[in-house]
Structure 1
């Protein structure tokens, strides 16, 4: 409902600006608000995120901010908008979520092609070393969010058309951290009622945070 209100207010404001000033304002950033809830604490409890390993990593980067701690340990994270400021933390949180949440894309998608020698050989799986035990012990193993058939079909449709600029692989083939995180984001949005256009817009904006307009040759964080 809040997202619809924001859209309506922006429409009214735009109309007034055009009427009185004769020009349209710059395009508004998509402000889709996620209900993150207690996903951080659930992933800690399940062992998808190891508290000590995660904190050690961020201590090397200056420590977790208060907002980071809320996302990781809190239970009432509503109206979360991914921004340039929190995009790094959300990359890791969504990476963990995308890897661990049960989904047919992981179980039946291109990552399972025998030519790759197993899903554990990708950067998105083998590179997640912040879990308790092996990342593959959590691969599509947890029902944090369950999608309806219609929501799953929407996720698959959008995932096949959202590409990473570093390698041009689609989110349907989440072989690196950014791809797995984007899959997690699309699952969350679909489960919370997002439409295809909204998912595409948010995916484009978030990719802009994760891949700044600089020359890059790999998908490293």
Structure 2
């Protein structure tokens, strides 16, 4: 799902950067009000885990790459999509600069897909479902949907850029991530359940 340099025209990248800058402004404000000495290490651990799972890439025909994301996990743990924006900005920047995974010109687009869309879809899907079907099933569905819609957004962005036709990009990206999303859903539920059992004080939903 990492978009590399050259896949999106600079003018389009600049639009995504404007969106990212606005999102980062509100995310930093959230961090100043909500992160403390106990929650900052948790954010760092989640960032390290996300870095690891995103490193397990599989090539996608006519697309970029397929991998688990983790946006829903961060947003649900902190009950804040802002947390996902911060994590993915840092993780994707490191991956682009050091490992050549993704690109600097496409950094904002990648953060929008995995952090903003992945985080927001994950959190608000969880909030819409958790009182109806329970926390853990809601976490799983939210993580799956966040992964699929992030992949869909990636395909749409590259179609707008003229990288490939939308009728090829969407099936290529979405089909793979329908199955990758199942793995992500299971992993997200396992992580959240472990936190809920062993460190419930770190889950934001236990504070509400």
**Larger Rg computed on CA atoms:** 1
Common fold: TM-score over 0.5: no
Q: TM-score, normalised by structure 2?
A: 0.32
Q: Which has the higher contact order (CA 8 A, sep 6+)?
A: 2
